[in-house]
Structure 1
Amino acid sequence: MIIQSDEWADVPVAGGGAMRIHLFRPAVPGRFPGVLLFSEIYQVTDPIRRLAAMVAGQGYVVGVPEVYHEYEAPGTVLRYDQAGTDRGNALKFTKPIAAYDEDARAALAWLGAHPACTGALATMGVCLGGHLAYRAALNPRVRAAACFYATDIHSGTLGAGRADDSLARMDALKAETLFVWGRQDPHVPFAGREAIRARLEETGALYEWHEVNAAHAFLRDEGPRYDPALFLQAMQWLLALFGRTLHGA
């Protein structure tokens, strides 16, 4: 489908202020399932916009929030360089975990109520966003989550104080969840992946699991780690998940 990709809204959040959400949707009349896409630490970069456009073109309304809206001006994009990486990582451990959760609640409520959305909701994300997509899927409104090389779940180090409760809360996960990992990703080593999978088994989660021969950020279509063949394979897994969970009652 041809899409619209020039829309955004400033959504109020608890405690004051607003979170900018960029919207990508089919450029035809109708209502479509909603997908909340969480970015990596660089916010809404061109690769993230292209990823959102790809999903929207399959018949979904995709919202992409600016995850650091409290700390950066609306529209800020961090560069894929050392300064941008340092800033993104610093903010990842500055923002309280409760603020991440409040953002997810507000974004899901806004997307689910959008006139172009059917109300059926899923989440997806890469890197930091993979973790945020998982946490957002603890909301019972979310039917599915696609989490790509999600950082910090295994170590419990997301947010201020570096002490999140993501693994502990996994028993609340009711959404069908897709996890995709790069085996050569130093951010989530083998022991970390094993810890996450063991917890999924312990809680009886409904999940799909893939480990591929790739480095961190292999979906990002910019830079030396991009793997186009694995990108297409990962999108097939994602679209199959959304296809079976977001359509129908």
Structure 2
Amino acid sequence: MITQSHFVDLPTATGSMRTYVHRPSGDGQYPAVLFYSEIFQQTGPIERAARLLAGHGYAVLVPEVFHELNPAGTVLAYDDAGRDKGNADKAAKPAESYDSDNRAMIDWLAAQPWYDGHVGAMGFCIGGHLAFRAALQPEIAATACFYATDLHSNTIPNGPGQHSMDRLAEIRGELLMIWGKQDPHIPAAGRAQVYQKLADAGLDFTWHEFNGQHAFMRDEGERYDAQLALTGYRLALDLFGRVLR
């Protein structure tokens, strides 16, 4: 399926948010996926992943997750300086601000003639957490979270009762949780903690742990695992195909 790409600057409660839109070309209506990047925003690997999803018949929105803290169009490099800046931005943005970002994208989608009314979420690294955060919105029917950081910890600033794991009762859709066993950012004890909380809450979720490192989906760098990435995409597309169509 041939795709097209453009961006929109959406008004949010915390300022204008550049959002990249990748969707099938031509006429037709399609389900949407809110796709959340790593701390580096829309890098080449994130854009390619978004276009891959779009090529399977989805309108994919990639927001700049730290739009309040950077000029529009900012992309951080996969190096020490980029990592330090991205982690500083993560520590500076309250979790509640992502809720208004999600609301802005969902409301904008509702006015688009190519949107069919079904929406899911997906993300890598902190984006896995932000996809999980998006699942708090009632419209989100399916969410694929890849090695979601900070769910097991309290490292994203938030107010009382505002940590994502404190609001599990608000999740209505199905979750796909994918992890790497060799990921130092989410150790086995942290993964077990998240699993138990999801199970105790009675959520509809599927859980996969692979022999992979952190960022095994990223098609740049030494941690990329093409076989695992293909498996991950198939699992996510299966979820979206079952639930959003």
Same fold (TM > 0.5): yes
* Whole-angstrom CA distance in 2 between matches of 1:105 and 1:126: 20
User: For residue 130 of structure 1, what is the aligned residue in structure 2?
Assistant: 128
Measured after TM superposition, the shift of residue 159 of structure 1 is 3.0
User: For residue 166 of structure 1, what is the aligned residue in structure 2?
Assistant: 164
User: For residue 214 of structure 2, what is the aligned residue in structure 1?
Assistant: 216
Contact kept, 8 Å, 2:161 with 2:167, in 1: the verdict is no
User: For residue 4 of structure 2, what is the aligned residue in structure 1?
Assistant: 4
Determine if the alignment matches structure 1 residue 60 to structure 2 residue 85: no
The AA in structure 2 aligned to 1:197 is Y
Unaligned segments of structure 2, at least 5 residues: none
* Whole-angstrom CA distance in 1 between matches of 2:187 and 2:52: 29
Contact kept, 8 Å, 1:156 with 1:163, in 2: the verdict is no
* CA pair 129-112 structure 1, distance change in 2 beyond 3 A: farther
Determine if the alignment matches structure 1 residue 114 to structure 2 residue 75: no
Determine if the alignment matches structure 1 residue 105 to structure 2 residue 103: yes
**TM-score, normalised relative to structure 1:** 0.95
Measured after TM superposition, the shift of residue 114 of structure 1 is 1.9
Measured after TM superposition, the shift of residue 96 of structure 1 is 1.4
Find the residue that maps to 1:70 and give its secondary structure.
helix
Contact kept, 8 Å, 1:39 with 1:64, in 2: the verdict is yes
Residue from 153, 156, 168 that aligns with 2:154: 156
| 1:30-71 CA-partner distances (Å, limit 9, x unpaired) | 010000001000000000000000000000000000011111
Find the residue that maps to 2:155 and give its secondary structure.
coil
The AA in structure 1 aligned to 2:7 is W
Contact kept, 8 Å, 2:12 with 2:101, in 1: the verdict is yes
Find the residue that maps to 1:242 and give its secondary structure.
helix
Find the residue that maps to 2:56 and give its secondary structure.
coil
The AA in structure 2 aligned to 1:8 is F
The AA in structure 2 aligned to 1:60 is Y
User: For residue 13 of structure 2, what is the aligned residue in structure 1?
Assistant: 14
Unaligned segments of structure 1, at least 5 residues: none
The AA in structure 2 aligned to 1:129 is G
The AA in structure 2 aligned to 1:243 is G
Contact kept, 8 Å, 2:96 with 2:158, in 1: the verdict is no
Find the residue that maps to 1:221 and give its secondary structure.
coil
Measured after TM superposition, the shift of residue 3 of structure 1 is 0.5
Measured after TM superposition, the shift of residue 115 of structure 1 is 1.8
Measured after TM superposition, the shift of residue 111 of structure 1 is 2.4
Measured after TM superposition, the shift of residue 165 of structure 1 is 1.4
Find the residue that maps to 2:154 and give its secondary structure.
coil
Contact kept, 8 Å, 2:96 with 2:162, in 1: the verdict is no
The AA in structure 2 aligned to 1:146 is A
The AA in structure 2 aligned to 1:182 is G
Deviates more, 1:166-175 or 1:230-239: 166-175
Identical positions, percent: 51
Q: How many residues align?
A: 245
Determine if the alignment matches structure 1 residue 175 to structure 2 residue 169: no
Measured after TM superposition, the shift of residue 204 of structure 1 is 0.5
Measured after TM superposition, the shift of residue 200 of structure 1 is 0.8
* Whole-angstrom CA distance in 1 between matches of 2:234 and 2:93: 33
The AA in structure 2 aligned to 1:111 is L
User: For residue 195 of structure 2, what is the aligned residue in structure 1?
Assistant: 197
Measured after TM superposition, the shift of residue 28 of structure 1 is 2.1
Find the residue that maps to 1:217 and give its secondary structure.
coil
Cα RMSD between the aligned structures? 1.4
* CA pair 2-137 structure 1, distance change in 2 beyond 3 A: same
* Whole-angstrom CA distance in 2 between matches of 1:164 and 1:152: 13
* CA pair 173-32 structure 1, distance change in 2 beyond 3 A: same
User: For residue 230 of structure 2, what is the aligned residue in structure 1?
Assistant: 232
Contact kept, 8 Å, 2:126 with 2:148, in 1: the verdict is yes
* CA pair 161-139 structure 1, distance change in 2 beyond 3 A: closer
